[in-house]
Structure 1
Amino acid sequence: MGRENLKMRIGKIAAYLEKSYQPPEEKPFVKVAELVVILPALGFFYIWEFFNRCQMPYFLYFEVKDALAVLYENLMPIIYIATLLSLMLALITPLILKKKPRPLDNEVNSQDPAVRESALEGRISMFTMIVTFLTVLAGLYVLLSAYNFEWKILTILLLFGGAVGYIYLFESRNLGFGLIILLAFLYAEVKGNADARQRMLNKPKIEITLKGYSDKPVLDEGEDCRYFLYKTSNYYFIKDSCKRRIEVYSTSGQEVNRFNID
Protein backbone atom coordinates (compact mmCIF):
# COMPACT_ATOMS: atom_id res chain seq x y z
CA MET A 1 0.00 0.00 0.00
CA GLY A 2 2.79 2.38 0.95
CA ARG A 3 4.69 1.54 -2.23
CA GLU A 4 1.60 2.25 -4.35
CA ASN A 5 1.14 5.65 -2.68
CA LEU A 6 4.79 6.46 -3.31
CA LYS A 7 4.41 5.56 -6.98
CA MET A 8 1.32 7.76 -7.25
CA ARG A 9 3.11 10.71 -5.66
CA ILE A 10 6.12 10.27 -7.94
CA GLY A 11 3.78 10.07 -10.90
CA LYS A 12 2.03 13.31 -9.90
CA ILE A 13 5.36 15.09 -9.43
CA ALA A 14 6.59 13.84 -12.81
CA ALA A 15 3.36 14.97 -14.49
CA TYR A 16 3.66 18.43 -12.87
CA LEU A 17 7.26 18.83 -14.04
CA GLU A 18 6.24 17.78 -17.54
CA LYS A 19 3.51 20.45 -17.72
CA SER A 20 4.02 23.50 -19.90
CA TYR A 21 5.07 26.67 -18.13
CA GLN A 22 2.48 29.42 -18.55
CA PRO A 23 3.86 32.87 -17.63
CA PRO A 24 1.51 35.43 -16.06
CA GLU A 25 0.02 37.60 -18.80
CA GLU A 26 0.16 41.20 -17.61
CA LYS A 27 1.05 44.47 -19.29
CA PRO A 28 4.28 45.76 -17.68
CA PHE A 29 3.76 48.96 -15.69
CA VAL A 30 7.47 49.87 -15.61
CA LYS A 31 9.07 50.90 -18.90
CA VAL A 32 12.71 51.29 -19.88
CA ALA A 33 12.48 55.08 -19.52
CA GLU A 34 11.38 54.68 -15.89
CA LEU A 35 14.33 52.36 -15.18
CA VAL A 36 16.63 55.24 -16.13
CA VAL A 37 15.27 57.05 -13.06
CA ILE A 38 15.24 54.02 -10.76
CA LEU A 39 18.89 52.96 -11.31
CA PRO A 40 20.50 56.31 -10.32
CA ALA A 41 18.16 56.44 -7.32
CA LEU A 42 19.39 53.00 -6.29
CA GLY A 43 23.04 54.07 -6.50
CA PHE A 44 22.32 57.27 -4.61
CA PHE A 45 20.51 55.29 -1.92
CA TYR A 46 23.64 53.16 -1.39
CA ILE A 47 25.88 56.26 -1.04
CA TRP A 48 23.36 57.93 1.26
CA GLU A 49 23.28 54.86 3.53
CA PHE A 50 27.10 54.70 3.52
CA PHE A 51 27.49 58.28 4.68
CA ASN A 52 24.54 58.09 7.02
CA ARG A 53 26.41 55.30 8.84
CA CYS A 54 29.46 57.57 8.96
CA GLN A 55 27.32 60.46 10.27
CA MET A 56 28.22 62.54 7.26
CA PRO A 57 25.74 64.57 5.11
CA TYR A 58 26.29 63.66 1.47
CA PHE A 59 23.62 65.87 -0.11
CA LEU A 60 26.09 68.77 -0.39
CA TYR A 61 28.27 66.72 -2.73
CA PHE A 62 25.74 64.68 -4.68
CA GLU A 63 26.21 64.13 -8.42
CA VAL A 64 24.31 61.71 -10.63
CA LYS A 65 27.50 60.20 -12.08
CA ASP A 66 28.53 59.06 -8.58
CA ALA A 67 25.25 57.17 -8.24
CA LEU A 68 25.80 55.45 -11.59
CA ALA A 69 29.42 54.55 -10.82
CA VAL A 70 28.52 52.87 -7.54
CA LEU A 71 26.14 50.51 -9.33
CA TYR A 72 29.06 48.87 -11.12
CA GLU A 73 31.39 49.01 -8.12
CA ASN A 74 29.18 47.62 -5.37
CA LEU A 75 25.87 46.37 -6.74
CA MET A 76 26.99 43.55 -9.04
CA PRO A 77 24.42 41.07 -7.61
CA ILE A 78 21.63 43.40 -8.75
CA ILE A 79 23.14 43.59 -12.25
CA TYR A 80 23.54 39.80 -12.18
CA ILE A 81 19.88 39.27 -11.31
CA ALA A 82 18.73 41.80 -13.90
CA THR A 83 20.81 40.07 -16.59
CA LEU A 84 19.38 36.64 -15.79
CA LEU A 85 15.84 38.01 -15.69
CA SER A 86 16.44 39.56 -19.09
CA LEU A 87 17.46 36.14 -20.41
CA MET A 88 14.33 34.63 -18.88
CA LEU A 89 12.19 37.30 -20.52
CA ALA A 90 13.86 36.52 -23.83
CA LEU A 91 12.61 32.95 -23.44
CA ILE A 92 9.18 33.81 -22.09
CA THR A 93 8.25 36.71 -24.40
CA PRO A 94 7.86 34.57 -27.57
CA LEU A 95 5.40 32.35 -25.69
CA ILE A 96 3.34 35.36 -24.67
CA LEU A 97 3.37 36.90 -28.15
CA LYS A 98 2.39 33.64 -29.85
CA LYS A 99 -0.47 33.12 -27.38
CA LYS A 100 -0.36 29.47 -28.33
CA PRO A 101 -2.99 27.44 -26.44
CA ARG A 102 -1.68 25.13 -23.80
CA PRO A 103 -1.16 21.62 -25.21
CA LEU A 104 -3.55 19.00 -23.94
CA ASP A 105 -2.19 16.11 -21.88
CA ASN A 106 -3.38 13.57 -24.44
CA GLU A 107 -1.48 15.48 -27.15
CA VAL A 108 1.73 15.58 -25.09
CA ASN A 109 1.41 11.85 -24.32
CA SER A 110 0.26 10.89 -27.80
CA GLN A 111 1.93 7.91 -29.45
CA ASP A 112 1.77 9.75 -32.76
CA PRO A 113 5.20 11.45 -33.20
CA ALA A 114 3.73 14.27 -35.31
CA VAL A 115 1.06 15.14 -32.71
CA ARG A 116 3.52 14.96 -29.84
CA GLU A 117 6.11 17.09 -31.67
CA SER A 118 3.48 19.71 -32.49
CA ALA A 119 2.33 19.83 -28.85
CA LEU A 120 5.88 20.23 -27.52
CA GLU A 121 6.97 22.81 -30.11
CA GLY A 122 8.08 26.08 -28.50
CA ARG A 123 7.22 24.71 -25.08
CA ILE A 124 9.06 25.39 -21.80
CA SER A 125 8.42 22.79 -19.12
CA MET A 126 7.91 23.49 -15.43
CA PHE A 127 11.02 21.42 -14.78
CA THR A 128 13.11 23.80 -16.91
CA MET A 129 11.74 26.88 -15.14
CA ILE A 130 12.30 25.37 -11.67
CA VAL A 131 15.89 24.42 -12.53
CA THR A 132 16.51 27.93 -13.91
CA PHE A 133 14.99 29.50 -10.80
CA LEU A 134 17.13 27.38 -8.46
CA THR A 135 20.24 28.16 -10.52
CA VAL A 136 19.62 31.90 -10.19
CA LEU A 137 19.05 31.51 -6.44
CA ALA A 138 22.27 29.50 -6.06
CA GLY A 139 24.19 32.14 -8.00
CA LEU A 140 22.74 34.84 -5.75
CA TYR A 141 23.89 32.89 -2.69
CA VAL A 142 27.45 32.64 -4.07
CA LEU A 143 27.58 36.38 -4.81
CA LEU A 144 26.18 37.42 -1.43
CA SER A 145 28.51 35.04 0.40
CA ALA A 146 31.48 36.80 -1.21
CA TYR A 147 30.54 39.97 0.69
CA ASN A 148 30.68 38.23 4.08
CA PHE A 149 27.23 39.29 5.23
CA GLU A 150 26.02 38.04 8.60
CA TRP A 151 24.15 34.76 8.24
CA LYS A 152 20.89 36.35 9.43
CA ILE A 153 21.04 39.05 6.74
CA LEU A 154 22.10 36.49 4.13
CA THR A 155 19.18 34.22 5.04
CA ILE A 156 16.67 37.10 4.88
CA LEU A 157 17.94 38.26 1.48
CA LEU A 158 17.84 34.71 0.06
CA LEU A 159 14.35 33.97 1.39
CA PHE A 160 13.05 37.31 0.17
CA GLY A 161 14.78 36.80 -3.18
CA GLY A 162 13.27 33.32 -3.54
CA ALA A 163 9.77 34.58 -2.74
CA VAL A 164 10.14 37.49 -5.15
CA GLY A 165 11.36 35.17 -7.91
CA TYR A 166 8.41 32.81 -7.41
CA ILE A 167 5.89 35.67 -7.53
CA TYR A 168 7.50 37.11 -10.66
CA LEU A 169 7.61 33.80 -12.56
CA PHE A 170 4.37 32.17 -11.45
CA GLU A 171 1.97 34.74 -9.97
CA SER A 172 2.30 38.34 -11.16
CA ARG A 173 5.04 39.94 -13.21
CA ASN A 174 4.11 43.48 -12.13
CA LEU A 175 3.96 42.64 -8.44
CA GLY A 176 7.14 40.59 -8.78
CA PHE A 177 8.98 43.41 -10.54
CA GLY A 178 7.87 45.87 -7.86
CA LEU A 179 9.21 43.51 -5.19
CA ILE A 180 12.47 43.15 -7.15
CA ILE A 181 12.93 46.92 -6.93
CA LEU A 182 12.18 46.77 -3.21
CA LEU A 183 14.72 43.94 -2.82
CA ALA A 184 17.31 46.01 -4.71
CA PHE A 185 16.87 48.96 -2.33
CA LEU A 186 16.96 46.62 0.67
CA TYR A 187 20.23 45.18 -0.60
CA ALA A 188 21.65 48.69 -1.22
CA GLU A 189 20.81 49.65 2.38
CA VAL A 190 22.44 46.53 3.83
CA LYS A 191 25.48 46.82 1.56
CA GLY A 192 25.99 50.53 2.26
CA ASN A 193 25.87 50.03 6.02
CA ALA A 194 28.14 46.97 5.87
CA ASP A 195 30.72 48.73 3.69
CA ALA A 196 30.80 51.80 5.94
CA ARG A 197 31.19 49.66 9.05
CA GLN A 198 33.99 47.67 7.42
CA ARG A 199 35.75 50.84 6.24
CA MET A 200 35.73 52.38 9.71
CA LEU A 201 36.92 49.11 11.21
CA ASN A 202 39.82 48.57 8.79
CA LYS A 203 40.84 52.27 8.63
CA PRO A 204 42.61 52.08 5.23
CA LYS A 205 45.74 54.24 4.98
CA ILE A 206 46.78 55.61 1.59
CA GLU A 207 48.77 58.63 0.47
CA ILE A 208 46.74 61.36 -1.21
CA THR A 209 48.40 64.45 -2.70
CA LEU A 210 46.42 67.33 -4.21
CA LYS A 211 48.75 69.75 -5.98
CA GLY A 212 46.10 72.44 -6.08
CA TYR A 213 45.95 72.38 -2.28
CA SER A 214 49.52 71.67 -1.16
CA ASP A 215 52.70 69.90 -2.24
CA LYS A 216 52.45 67.86 0.93
CA PRO A 217 50.05 64.91 1.07
CA VAL A 218 46.65 65.67 2.57
CA LEU A 219 46.74 62.09 3.87
CA ASP A 220 49.82 59.99 4.62
CA GLU A 221 50.06 56.24 5.13
CA GLY A 222 51.88 56.69 8.43
CA GLU A 223 49.15 58.67 10.19
CA ASP A 224 47.54 57.11 13.25
CA CYS A 225 44.24 59.00 13.50
CA ARG A 226 43.32 59.90 9.92
CA TYR A 227 42.30 57.40 7.24
CA PHE A 228 40.66 57.22 3.83
CA LEU A 229 36.88 57.00 4.02
CA TYR A 230 35.48 57.41 0.50
CA LYS A 231 36.06 59.02 -2.89
CA THR A 232 33.57 60.39 -5.38
CA SER A 233 34.26 61.89 -8.78
CA ASN A 234 35.03 65.30 -7.28
CA TYR A 235 35.81 64.77 -3.58
CA TYR A 236 37.97 62.81 -1.15
CA PHE A 237 36.50 62.04 2.27
CA ILE A 238 39.00 61.56 5.11
CA LYS A 239 38.06 60.73 8.68
CA ASP A 240 40.00 61.92 11.72
CA SER A 241 39.04 59.57 14.56
CA CYS A 242 41.06 61.53 17.15
CA LYS A 243 39.43 64.89 16.44
CA ARG A 244 36.14 63.14 15.62
CA ARG A 245 35.57 64.89 12.33
CA ILE A 246 35.37 64.22 8.60
CA GLU A 247 37.42 66.28 6.16
CA VAL A 248 36.28 66.79 2.58
CA TYR A 249 38.84 67.74 -0.08
CA SER A 250 37.86 68.57 -3.65
CA THR A 251 39.93 66.79 -6.29
CA SER A 252 40.79 70.18 -7.77
CA GLY A 253 42.39 71.15 -4.44
CA GLN A 254 40.38 74.37 -4.26
CA GLU A 255 37.84 73.41 -1.60
CA VAL A 256 38.20 71.99 1.92
CA ASN A 257 35.36 71.33 4.35
CA ARG A 258 35.37 69.81 7.82
CA PHE A 259 32.43 68.33 9.74
CA ASN A 260 32.45 67.38 13.40
CA ILE A 261 30.71 64.10 14.27
CA ASP A 262 29.37 62.72 17.53
Structure 2
Amino acid sequence: MNFRIRSERIRSWSAYLNKSYKPTNDKPMVKIAELAFILPALGLFYIWEYFSRFGIEYYDYFDLKDSLAVLYQNLMPVIYIGTMFSMFFTILLPDVLKRMNKGRTEAQTDEISENGFSNLTVILTVLLALFGFFILLKAHHLSLATIIILLVLAIFTGYFYLFVHKNIGYGFAIMLAFLYAEVRSGLDAKYTIEHKRTENIYLKQHSDSALLTEGDQCRYIIYKSSNYYFLRDDCKKMTYVYSITGTESTSFKSNK
Protein backbone atom coordinates (compact mmCIF):
# COMPACT_ATOMS: atom_id res chain seq x y z
CA MET A 1 0.00 0.00 0.00
CA ASN A 2 2.77 2.42 0.97
CA PHE A 3 4.71 1.44 -2.14
CA ARG A 4 1.69 2.25 -4.32
CA ILE A 5 1.27 5.66 -2.65
CA ARG A 6 4.95 6.43 -3.18
CA SER A 7 4.73 5.36 -6.82
CA GLU A 8 1.72 7.61 -7.39
CA ARG A 9 3.52 10.54 -5.79
CA ILE A 10 6.59 9.94 -7.93
CA ARG A 11 4.48 9.79 -11.10
CA SER A 12 2.65 12.95 -10.04
CA TRP A 13 5.91 14.84 -9.44
CA SER A 14 7.35 13.51 -12.70
CA ALA A 15 4.30 14.71 -14.63
CA TYR A 16 4.52 18.14 -12.99
CA LEU A 17 8.22 18.53 -13.76
CA ASN A 18 7.68 17.52 -17.38
CA LYS A 19 4.85 19.98 -17.90
CA SER A 20 5.46 23.24 -19.72
CA TYR A 21 6.10 26.12 -17.33
CA LYS A 22 3.24 28.63 -17.32
CA PRO A 23 4.21 32.03 -15.88
CA THR A 24 1.72 34.01 -13.84
CA ASN A 25 -0.44 36.37 -15.89
CA ASP A 26 -0.53 39.25 -13.40
CA LYS A 27 0.99 42.56 -14.43
CA PRO A 28 4.14 43.49 -12.50
CA MET A 29 3.78 46.50 -10.24
CA VAL A 30 7.48 47.41 -10.47
CA LYS A 31 8.54 48.57 -13.93
CA ILE A 32 11.69 50.08 -15.43
CA ALA A 33 10.71 53.57 -14.24
CA GLU A 34 10.39 52.35 -10.65
CA LEU A 35 13.72 50.51 -10.87
CA ALA A 36 15.36 53.80 -11.86
CA PHE A 37 14.33 55.04 -8.41
CA ILE A 38 14.84 51.83 -6.39
CA LEU A 39 18.42 51.14 -7.50
CA PRO A 40 19.86 54.56 -6.51
CA ALA A 41 17.88 54.34 -3.26
CA LEU A 42 19.53 50.98 -2.61
CA GLY A 43 22.98 52.49 -3.15
CA LEU A 44 22.20 55.42 -0.86
CA PHE A 45 20.89 53.02 1.79
CA TYR A 46 24.18 51.10 1.67
CA ILE A 47 26.26 54.29 2.06
CA TRP A 48 24.00 55.60 4.84
CA GLU A 49 24.30 52.33 6.76
CA TYR A 50 28.08 52.25 6.17
CA PHE A 51 28.63 55.78 7.47
CA SER A 52 26.34 55.24 10.46
CA ARG A 53 28.98 52.78 11.76
CA PHE A 54 31.35 55.75 12.03
CA GLY A 55 28.86 58.26 13.42
CA ILE A 56 28.73 60.25 10.16
CA GLU A 57 25.55 61.74 8.74
CA TYR A 58 26.09 60.98 5.07
CA TYR A 59 23.18 63.10 3.85
CA ASP A 60 25.19 66.19 4.79
CA TYR A 61 27.44 65.21 1.87
CA PHE A 62 24.80 63.69 -0.39
CA ASP A 63 25.58 63.09 -4.08
CA LEU A 64 23.59 60.78 -6.36
CA LYS A 65 26.75 59.73 -8.21
CA ASP A 66 27.97 57.98 -5.07
CA SER A 67 24.98 55.63 -5.00
CA LEU A 68 25.55 54.59 -8.62
CA ALA A 69 29.28 54.08 -8.04
CA VAL A 70 28.77 51.88 -4.98
CA LEU A 71 26.14 49.83 -6.83
CA TYR A 72 28.58 49.17 -9.67
CA GLN A 73 31.32 48.27 -7.19
CA ASN A 74 29.16 45.79 -5.28
CA LEU A 75 27.69 44.27 -8.45
CA MET A 76 31.09 43.28 -9.83
CA PRO A 77 31.26 39.99 -7.83
CA VAL A 78 27.71 39.19 -9.00
CA ILE A 79 28.71 39.83 -12.62
CA TYR A 80 31.80 37.65 -12.20
CA ILE A 81 29.87 34.73 -10.72
CA GLY A 82 27.16 35.14 -13.36
CA THR A 83 29.78 34.98 -16.09
CA MET A 84 31.26 31.81 -14.61
CA PHE A 85 27.87 30.10 -14.41
CA SER A 86 26.80 31.28 -17.86
CA MET A 87 28.80 28.35 -19.26
CA PHE A 88 26.28 26.00 -17.66
CA PHE A 89 23.35 27.80 -19.28
CA THR A 90 24.91 27.94 -22.73
CA ILE A 91 26.69 24.57 -22.90
CA LEU A 92 25.78 22.10 -20.17
CA LEU A 93 22.10 22.86 -19.55
CA PRO A 94 20.94 22.26 -23.16
CA ASP A 95 22.74 18.92 -23.19
CA VAL A 96 21.20 17.88 -19.85
CA LEU A 97 17.72 18.82 -21.03
CA LYS A 98 18.23 16.99 -24.32
CA ARG A 99 19.06 13.81 -22.43
CA MET A 100 16.01 14.27 -20.19
CA ASN A 101 13.76 14.75 -23.20
CA LYS A 102 14.47 11.16 -24.22
CA GLY A 103 12.36 9.96 -21.31
CA ARG A 104 9.35 12.13 -22.22
CA THR A 105 6.44 11.25 -24.41
CA GLU A 106 6.12 12.89 -27.80
CA ALA A 107 3.09 14.89 -26.62
CA GLN A 108 5.01 16.30 -23.63
CA THR A 109 7.97 17.25 -25.82
CA ASP A 110 5.68 19.01 -28.33
CA GLU A 111 3.93 20.92 -25.54
CA ILE A 112 7.24 22.18 -24.12
CA SER A 113 8.50 23.11 -27.59
CA GLU A 114 5.40 25.21 -28.23
CA ASN A 115 5.04 26.87 -24.82
CA GLY A 116 8.67 27.29 -23.74
CA PHE A 117 10.62 25.73 -20.87
CA SER A 118 9.47 22.89 -18.66
CA ASN A 119 8.98 23.26 -14.91
CA LEU A 120 12.11 21.17 -14.43
CA THR A 121 14.18 23.60 -16.50
CA VAL A 122 12.92 26.58 -14.48
CA ILE A 123 13.59 24.83 -11.16
CA LEU A 124 17.12 23.82 -12.24
CA THR A 125 17.85 27.40 -13.27
CA VAL A 126 16.61 28.76 -9.92
CA LEU A 127 18.67 26.18 -8.00
CA LEU A 128 21.76 27.17 -9.98
CA ALA A 129 21.13 30.85 -9.24
CA LEU A 130 20.71 30.04 -5.53
CA PHE A 131 23.99 28.11 -5.58
CA GLY A 132 25.74 31.11 -7.14
CA PHE A 133 24.21 33.38 -4.47
CA PHE A 134 25.43 30.97 -1.78
CA ILE A 135 28.99 31.14 -3.18
CA LEU A 136 28.80 34.95 -3.12
CA LEU A 137 27.69 34.96 0.53
CA LYS A 138 30.38 32.48 1.52
CA ALA A 139 33.02 34.59 -0.21
CA HIS A 140 32.14 37.47 2.13
CA HIS A 141 32.57 35.20 5.19
CA LEU A 142 29.09 35.83 6.51
CA SER A 143 27.80 33.92 9.52
CA LEU A 144 25.82 30.75 8.89
CA ALA A 145 22.64 32.29 10.34
CA THR A 146 22.91 35.31 8.01
CA ILE A 147 23.50 33.06 4.98
CA ILE A 148 20.47 30.94 5.84
CA ILE A 149 18.21 34.00 6.26
CA LEU A 150 19.31 35.50 2.93
CA LEU A 151 18.97 32.18 1.10
CA VAL A 152 15.47 31.61 2.51
CA LEU A 153 14.45 35.09 1.33
CA ALA A 154 15.94 34.32 -2.09
CA ILE A 155 13.95 31.07 -2.27
CA PHE A 156 10.72 32.87 -1.37
CA THR A 157 11.53 35.53 -3.99
CA GLY A 158 11.94 32.96 -6.76
CA TYR A 159 8.94 30.90 -5.72
CA PHE A 160 6.46 33.76 -5.45
CA TYR A 161 7.71 35.51 -8.60
CA LEU A 162 7.64 32.40 -10.79
CA PHE A 163 4.68 30.44 -9.45
CA VAL A 164 2.39 32.66 -7.35
CA HIS A 165 2.35 36.42 -8.04
CA LYS A 166 5.02 38.63 -9.58
CA ASN A 167 4.34 41.59 -7.29
CA ILE A 168 4.83 39.45 -4.18
CA GLY A 169 8.07 38.22 -5.71
CA TYR A 170 9.17 41.81 -6.34
CA GLY A 171 8.37 42.65 -2.72
CA PHE A 172 10.59 39.82 -1.47
CA ALA A 173 13.31 40.82 -3.96
CA ILE A 174 13.36 44.41 -2.69
CA MET A 175 13.43 43.18 0.92
CA LEU A 176 16.30 40.82 0.06
CA ALA A 177 18.27 43.57 -1.73
CA PHE A 178 18.03 46.04 1.16
CA LEU A 179 18.82 43.39 3.76
CA TYR A 180 21.86 42.32 1.75
CA ALA A 181 22.94 45.98 1.47
CA GLU A 182 22.69 46.36 5.26
CA VAL A 183 24.74 43.21 5.86
CA ARG A 184 27.38 44.23 3.33
CA SER A 185 27.68 47.75 4.73
CA GLY A 186 28.34 46.39 8.22
CA LEU A 187 30.84 43.89 6.87
CA ASP A 188 32.67 46.54 4.83
CA ALA A 189 32.77 48.97 7.77
CA LYS A 190 34.26 46.23 9.97
CA TYR A 191 36.88 45.52 7.30
CA THR A 192 37.76 49.23 7.12
CA ILE A 193 38.20 49.50 10.90
CA GLU A 194 40.32 46.34 11.13
CA HIS A 195 42.62 47.00 8.14
CA LYS A 196 42.90 50.83 8.41
CA ARG A 197 43.89 51.51 4.80
CA THR A 198 46.36 54.36 4.33
CA GLU A 199 47.88 56.15 1.35
CA ASN A 200 49.53 59.47 0.59
CA ILE A 201 46.83 62.15 0.13
CA TYR A 202 47.69 65.71 -0.87
CA LEU A 203 45.06 68.41 -1.35
CA LYS A 204 46.84 71.74 -1.80
CA GLN A 205 43.70 73.78 -1.13
CA HIS A 206 43.64 72.38 2.42
CA SER A 207 47.30 72.00 3.37
CA ASP A 208 50.77 72.04 1.87
CA SER A 209 51.57 68.86 3.79
CA ALA A 210 49.93 65.48 3.37
CA LEU A 211 46.50 64.98 4.91
CA LEU A 212 47.36 61.28 5.24
CA THR A 213 50.59 59.36 4.73
CA GLU A 214 51.03 55.70 3.98
CA GLY A 215 51.66 53.71 7.15
CA ASP A 216 50.14 56.35 9.46
CA GLN A 217 49.51 54.79 12.89
CA CYS A 218 46.51 56.97 13.76
CA ARG A 219 44.74 58.10 10.60
CA TYR A 220 43.16 55.98 7.91
CA ILE A 221 40.64 56.27 5.06
CA ILE A 222 37.00 55.66 5.87
CA TYR A 223 35.67 56.39 2.40
CA LYS A 224 36.34 58.39 -0.74
CA SER A 225 33.21 59.71 -2.43
CA SER A 226 32.98 61.69 -5.65
CA ASN A 227 33.49 64.97 -3.76
CA TYR A 228 35.02 64.16 -0.35
CA TYR A 229 37.70 62.28 1.53
CA PHE A 230 36.54 60.86 4.87
CA LEU A 231 39.44 60.23 7.27
CA ARG A 232 39.41 58.80 10.78
CA ASP A 233 41.97 59.57 13.51
CA ASP A 234 41.78 56.92 16.24
CA CYS A 235 44.36 58.67 18.42
CA LYS A 236 42.30 61.88 18.65
CA LYS A 237 38.92 60.16 18.23
CA MET A 238 38.21 62.60 15.39
CA THR A 239 36.68 62.30 11.94
CA TYR A 240 37.86 64.64 9.17
CA VAL A 241 36.02 65.41 5.94
CA TYR A 242 37.87 67.21 3.12
CA SER A 243 36.33 68.48 -0.09
CA ILE A 244 38.19 67.26 -3.17
CA THR A 245 37.05 70.06 -5.48
CA GLY A 246 36.66 72.96 -3.04
CA THR A 247 38.12 74.37 0.16
CA GLU A 248 35.43 73.02 2.49
CA SER A 249 36.60 70.87 5.40
CA THR A 250 34.90 69.71 8.60
CA SER A 251 35.95 67.72 11.64
CA PHE A 252 34.10 66.35 14.64
CA LYS A 253 34.51 63.92 17.51
CA SER A 254 32.98 60.50 17.24
CA ASN A 255 32.65 57.87 19.93
CA LYS A 256 32.09 55.08 17.42
1:211 counterpart residue number: 204
1:157 counterpart residue number: 150
Q: Write out aligned runs for 1:67-86 (5 A).
A: 67-76=67-76
Q: What SS does the aligned partner of 1:211 have?
A: coil
1:95 counterpart residue number: none
Q: What SS does the aligned partner of 2:153 have?
A: helix
CA separation of 1:32 and 1:118: change in aligned 2, threshold 3 A? closer
Q: What SS does the aligned partner of 1:121 have?
A: helix
**Equivalent residue letter for 1:174:** N
Q: Is 2:32 the partner of 1:32?
A: yes
Q: Is 2:123 the partner of 1:141?
A: no
Q: How many residues align?
A: 235
CA separation of 1:119 and 1:181: change in aligned 2, threshold 3 A? closer
The answer as to whether partners of 1:56 and 1:259 remain within 8 angstroms in 2 is no
CA drift of 1:76 comes to 4.5
Q: Write out aligned runs for 1:234-253 (5 A).
A: 234-252=227-245
The answer as to whether partners of 1:208 and 1:220 remain within 8 angstroms in 2 is yes
The answer as to whether partners of 1:209 and 1:218 remain within 8 angstroms in 2 is yes
CA drift of 1:3 comes to 4.8
Q: Is 2:20 the partner of 1:20?
A: yes
Q: For structure 2, list consecutive stretches of 5 or more residues without a partner in the other structure.
A: 84-103
1:105 counterpart residue number: none
Q: Distance in 2 between matches of 1:5 and 1:64?
A: 60
Give TM-score, length-normalised by structure 2.
0.83
Residue by residue over 1:26-85, the C-alpha shift from the partner in whole angstroms, topping out at 9 and shown as x without a partner, is 1121221121111111100000000001111111101000011110112447778999xx
Q: What SS does the aligned partner of 1:169 have?
A: helix
Q: Distance in 2 between matches of 1:230 and 1:116?
A: 56
Q: Distance in 2 between matches of 1:10 and 1:218?
A: 69
Give TM-score, length-normalised by structure 1.
0.82
CA separation of 1:261 and 1:238: change in aligned 2, threshold 3 A? same
The answer as to whether partners of 1:78 and 1:184 remain within 8 angstroms in 2 is no
Q: For structure 1, list consecutive stretches of 5 or more residues without a partner in the other structure.
A: 84-107
1:86 counterpart residue number: none
CA drift of 1:243 comes to 1.0
Q: Is 2:177 the partner of 1:184?
A: yes
